[in-house]
Amino acid sequence: MGTSYFMTEELNMFRTSVDDFVKANILPNFNQWEKDGKVDRKLFKQAAELGLLGINIDPKYGGMGLSDMFSLVMMEQSNRHNVAGAVLSLCCHSYLPMQYLHKFASEEIKQKYLVPSVNGDIVGCLGMTEPFAGSDLAALRTTAIKDGDHYIVNGSKTFITNGVYADYMVTAVKTDPENARAGVSLLVIDAKSAGYTASKLDKLGVRSSDTAEIAMLNVKVPVTNLIGKEGQGFLYMMKSLEIERFSIAWACIGGCMGVMDLTLKYIQEREAFGKPISKIQVIRHKLVELQTEIEMCRAFMYLSTQRFANGENTVKEATMLKLKAAELLKTVSDECLQFFGGYGFMEEFPIARVYRDQRVNPIYGGTSEIMKEILSKMIVDGVKY
């Protein structure tokens, strides 16, 4: 990879350790996990041993306290191996619930949930989406009504990554059901609580990541499990969207690079009309077009991640990247699959799996349409976030 404007020697060394981690712990087991519909739980512990679950977390909570350029490298390089389900399992633990705990939770919550999360002893999930509230999160219906020193929570969440595995869920609830945004608060709910059940969902791709529907019936949650202040949940969500969007983009660009690796190798090996298909001009031209787009998007990703890591407001850039990187991986996996001919349609060829796995990127973490809505507000209407 070499050093460059963004890739310091330290980041390069880190990239090598991520590579070694994936080769040793994910690749040998990945096909089995895809069949099982979940990764082995020990993967979290193995990642934690290398510090990979707490890259940007303060060392006083066990993290590495590194810049998010390291997070970028972690996500990009691991997903370059075309193991999206495993990468999603890890990142929906460390870049979703843990970030809320790190930024907004009390010291007591941090000690109870964040520290063991960094250590890989417990797994977290983020429960925002509900059966009737996805893009329109303010429409969420789960209620948390105060009763003495507890909240009584009723409602359900759906499509929750790590939902079955999770020991706890950071979730958005209405503490004031009469209010839309101003009524939203965030709670940490222990998955062992009475009345809390998780049911596994079957899905098209990223099959090794567990996805669940969570039902909560009169779940008693201590008031000390409130994250930050009551009524501020929506604000905390808005403040956390940048890293969520970046993390999806980091994985998508790694995915694009992974698809190009597979394709460049295959077209050298496959022959048609007495020569490798890599000599066919239409294929060569399409591949260089795709590579050009990937490299341009990647440069923008490095630049804006560096600015994000410096503490600048990068809501616009994170939104553009989430939109573009997700759509680019969709195009790259579709166009490249074509060059595999019938083999591209066969399960034993990783490109077939990537084609299914990538489809979720323009949907989760905010759909492409929602990214365009946000960008329209910022660019056309001059709204600032």
Ligand X SMILES: Cc1cc2nc3c(=O)[nH]c(=O)nc-3n(C[C@H](O)[C@H](O)[C@H](O)COP(=O)(O)OP(=O)(O)OC[C@H]3O[C@@H](n4cnc5c(N)ncnc54)[C@H](O)[C@@H]3O)c2cc1C
The contact set with ligand X (CB under 6 A) reads 92, 125-129, 134-135, 159-161, 203, 206, 211, 360, 363-367, 369-370, 373
CB of 19 vs ligand X, minimal distance in Å: 26
CB of 35 vs ligand X, minimal distance in Å: 17
Active site residue 244: yes
- CA gap 179, 71 in Å, rounded: 36
The 10 Å Cβ neighbour count of residue 240 is 19
Nearer to ligand X, 125 or 309 (CB): 125
CB of 362 vs ligand X, minimal distance in Å: 9
- Of 309, 104, 329, 59, the C-alpha closest to 206 is 329
Q: Which residues of 177-214 are buried (b: 16+ CB within 10 A; e: fewer)?
A: eeeeebbbbbbbbbbebeebebeeeebebbbbbbbbbb
Distances from the Cα of 108 to the Cα of 224, 225, 323, 339, angstroms: 8, 9, 37, 54
From the list 230, 242, 244, 317, the catalytic residue is: 244
Residue showing the smallest CB distance to ligand X in the complex: 134
Nearer to ligand X, 137 or 297 (CB): 137
Nearer to ligand X, 270 or 356 (CB): 356
Which bin fits 155, alpha (ψ -120 to 50), beta or left (φ > 0)?
Answer: left
Nearer to ligand X, 109 or 172 (CB): 172
Nearer to ligand X, 3 or 135 (CB): 135
CB of 266 vs ligand X, minimal distance in Å: 28
CB of 127 vs ligand X, minimal distance in Å: 6
What is 21-69 written as a DSSP string? HIIIIITTTHHHHHHHTS--THHHHHHHHTTTT-TTS-GGGT-----HH
For β-strands 143-147 and 150-161, DSSP reports them as antiparallel
Q: Give me the active site residues, please.
A: 244
